[in-house]
Chain A
């Protein structure tokens, strides 16, 4: 075989490289640049290596935020994935009732994040909010501005209201794609409702649930707007999640060096968790 010794074809990919460089590599490298230097002012900077990274990792408030964040994401997944599947199973699969149900369920997804925050901020207020007053009226002491438990419950309720529809829609699409003969065969085989779910529906939902879990994990791990609007990270620092802490550091305190190091660690943590989830979820499929 004669091989053409002409590498000019590489020129064709230059536009792509340029685009990727401008929208991903260069911004990221700016952050890397900040994270490795201590900047006092224009023209006054010192290269300090991994000092900021060390400082961020040792910061007890950031460690606390990290644990809080992990707990929040774990709760979000533990509530929203089963709830989403359960509601999807209850929905009618055909006809106008199905269409109507899907439209109603999808509405929360269309609300802007800070509007969701504002809605719940008002809704859950113990003095004038419908939910807050209702809970207090039945004798439970509920106030998200003074009690950490109340604040967490508010945020989890809000996030569940906002994002479970995504899980429902994905699971519903997965359920609709299961061919009818599977259900018919299960009836002939005398399978119980649980066996149908366990051996037909759940295995067929695997693909969409992988996507749902990844999306819900990433979104909940990066949550910022809603807690910022509802609780502002309080009471105390009980709802100061990683991104809230990061914004305080970068914008509030203007500590660009540590904030840059923090950002990079945050980004790598999400990447690592997502990779681990993905690997676990895909693992069983490759089994002989």
Chain B
């Protein structure tokens, strides 16, 4: 167990740092606290797997340092770093039994045989692999194989951290749910530092205490799932997290008002942003609601999509189209209707950065 500090990390696969736009990782500073369950979330190609491989030592970063509990490990090889990593597809030693597979990382480190037997039994118990221990690993199904890979990651008790690189991609949804819960349980009992790479937001939000969102080689925000959802610091996080993602409505601030195509909102507290270019309102679908009385903003219903226990209305507001979430029991408006903005959830972005919300502005 260790605290992992990444500082000034930049990486280019051809070793050339001169062109910042071509870097796989563009300058990352981050601290993974000891015992935290982290998800590293981002779209494919954003650099999250590169980051993971740099932490484990499979890739040496072009620039920057990696510290484990303050000790510089940048130049150490993976086997010297005391770290476990589980890959996207099951990696097994075909000639070995399940038991030998689980014992392999311990045997290579010359752990006493009695301790190996005990630890393998514990891990097998944890992952329901007990009955399969004597079987040849190559003859099992994909889910079992991936459980063995997970088991090899969990079998060493003294690791600084366990890294998971989208480990549940090949698993069926039901088993996926079980395994994720198991990992969560393992984390709670062992208090290991876990870093879980995924591009699936629901996986990240359910697994992790802290979610680190990456985009295009940079960390755009790190925070709890609530923070990421309620107050995305960056427009990318707003769009990437949530289904549907955040609405963005271009606006200007003039004379203490937020003005946009289709309406205006009083916001005396935002005068400091007056006249600034590139402002927009960030609105989660539930930040918009149909109002009983006129609010000065009128929308028009374009479509309605039923999502089970809620509905998503497609609303035209001026030239923009917004998604509005309607809870169960709220009647869907017809034609043109007054739109209410929930002040605490109506966020103001300048460029891509969060700069304030309507609640502050009206205070």
- A residues touching B (Cβ–Cβ < 8 Å)? 179, 181-182, 184-185, 187-192, 195, 198-200, 203-204, 287-288
Decide if B109 touches A185 in the complex (CB within 8 Å). no
On whether A203 and B78 interact (CB within 8 A), knowing A184-B85, A287-B136, the answer reads no
User: Interface with A: B91-99, B171-179, B213-221, B282-290, which one?
Assistant: B91-99
Q: How far is the CA of A207 from the CA of B93 in the complex (A)?
A: 16
Is B201 an interface residue when CB atoms closer than 8 A count as contact? no
Q: How far is the CA of A184 from the CA of B52 in the complex (A)?
A: 12
Chain B contacts with A in 54-91, Cβ cutoff 8 A: 56-58, 77-79, 83-85, 87-89, 91
Decide if A190 touches B95 in the complex (CB within 8 Å). no
Chain A hits for B108, CB < 8 A = 189-192, 195
Interface size on B, as a range, is 20 to 34
Q: How close is B171's CB to chain A, nearest CB, in angstroms?
A: 16
Is B105 an interface residue when CB atoms closer than 8 A count as contact? yes
Counted as pairs of residues, one from A and one from B, with CB atoms less than 8 Å apart, the total is 58
6 contacts between A and B (CB under 8 A): A179-B89, A184-B87, A185-B91, A188-B84, A195-B108, A287-B136
Decide if B93 touches A184 in the complex (CB within 8 Å). no
On whether A199 and B95 interact (CB within 8 A), knowing A184-B87, A188-B84, the answer reads yes
Q: How close is A173's CB to chain B, nearest CB, in angstroms?
A: 18
Q: Which residue of B lies closest to A206 (CB)?
A: B94
Is B271 an interface residue when CB atoms closer than 8 A count as contact? no
The residue that B152 contacts in the complex, of A187, A189, A195, A203, with Cβ under 8 A, is: A189
Decide if A190 touches B136 in the complex (CB within 8 Å). no
The residue that A288 contacts in the complex, of B84, B88, B96, B136, with Cβ under 8 A, is: B136
Is B104 an interface residue when CB atoms closer than 8 A count as contact? yes
On whether A189 and B95 interact (CB within 8 A), knowing A287-B136, A288-B135, the answer reads no
Chain A hits for B152, CB < 8 A = 185, 189
Chain B hits for A190, CB < 8 A = 79, 105, 108-109
The 4 residue pairs across chains A and B that have the minimum distance between CB atoms: A190-B108, A185-B91, A189-B105, A190-B79
Decide if B58 touches A184 in the complex (CB within 8 Å). yes
Decide if A187 touches B78 in the complex (CB within 8 Å). yes
Decide if B78 touches A288 in the complex (CB within 8 Å). no
Decide if B93 touches A188 in the complex (CB within 8 Å). no
Chain A hits for B83, CB < 8 A = 188
Q: Which residue of A lies closest to B135 (CB)?
A: A288
Q: How close is B195's CB to chain A, nearest CB, in angstroms?
A: 14
Is B139 an interface residue when CB atoms closer than 8 A count as contact? yes
Q: Which residue of B lies closest to A187 (CB)?
A: B78
Which among A188, A195, A203, A288 has the highest number of chain B CB atoms within 10 Å? A188
Q: Which residue of B lies closest to A199 (CB)?
A: B93
Chain B hits for A185, CB < 8 A = 85, 87, 91, 149, 152
Q: How far is the CA of A269 from the CA of B77 in the complex (A)?
A: 53
Chain B hits for A191, CB < 8 A = 104, 108
Q: How far is the CA of A68 from the CA of B206 in the complex (A)?
A: 70
Q: How close is A170's CB to chain B, nearest CB, in angstroms?
A: 19
Decide if A199 touches B96 in the complex (CB within 8 Å). yes
Q: Which residue of B lies closest to A182 (CB)?
A: B91
The residue that B104 contacts in the complex, of A182, A189, A203, with Cβ under 8 A, is: A189
- B residues touching A (Cβ–Cβ < 8 Å)? 53, 56-58, 77-79, 83-85, 87-89, 91, 93-96, 104-105, 108-109, 135-136, 139, 149, 152
Q: How close is A183's CB to chain B, nearest CB, in angstroms?
A: 9
On whether A187 and B91 interact (CB within 8 A), knowing A288-B135, A288-B139, the answer reads no
Q: How far is the CA of A189 from the CA of B96 in the complex (A)?
A: 14
Chain A hits for B88, CB < 8 A = 181
Chain B hits for A181, CB < 8 A = 87-89, 91
Q: How close is A47's CB to chain B, nearest CB, in angstroms?
A: 55
18 additional contacts (CB under 8 A) given A184-B78, A189-B152? A179-B89, A181-B91, A184-B91, A185-B87, A185-B149, A187-B57, A188-B79, A188-B85, A189-B79, A189-B104, A189-B108, A190-B79, A191-B108, A192-B108, A200-B93, A203-B93, A288-B136, A288-B139
On whether A188 and B78 interact (CB within 8 A), knowing A181-B88, A182-B91, A287-B136, the answer reads yes
Q: How far is the CA of A185 from the CA of B108 in the complex (A)?
A: 13
Decide if B79 touches A187 in the complex (CB within 8 Å). yes
Q: How far is the CA of A44 from the CA of B270 in the complex (A)?
A: 119
Q: How far is the CA of A127 from the CA of B57 in the complex (A)?
A: 59
Q: How close is A35's CB to chain B, nearest CB, in angstroms?
A: 46
On whether A187 and B105 interact (CB within 8 A), knowing A199-B93, A200-B93, A288-B136, the answer reads no
Q: How close is A79's CB to chain B, nearest CB, in angstroms?
A: 25
Chain B hits for A182, CB < 8 A = 91
Chain B hits for A287, CB < 8 A = 136
Q: How far is the CA of A185 from the CA of B89 in the complex (A)?
A: 11
Chain B hits for A179, CB < 8 A = 89
Decide if B136 touches A187 in the complex (CB within 8 Å). no
Chain A hits for B58, CB < 8 A = 184, 187-188
Decide if B96 touches A188 in the complex (CB within 8 Å). no
Q: How close is A206's CB to chain B, nearest CB, in angstroms?
A: 9
Q: Which residue of A lies closest to B105 (CB)?
A: A189
Q: How far is the CA of A179 from the CA of B53 in the complex (A)?
A: 16
Decide if B77 touches A187 in the complex (CB within 8 Å). yes
Q: Which residue of A lies closest to B89 (CB)?
A: A181
Chain A hits for B53, CB < 8 A = 184
Q: How close is A105's CB to chain B, nearest CB, in angstroms?
A: 28
Chain B hits for A189, CB < 8 A = 79, 104-105, 108, 152
Q: How close is B137's CB to chain A, nearest CB, in angstroms?
A: 11
Q: How far is the CA of A176 from the CA of B105 in the complex (A)?
A: 25
Q: Which residue of A lies closest to B108 (CB)?
A: A190
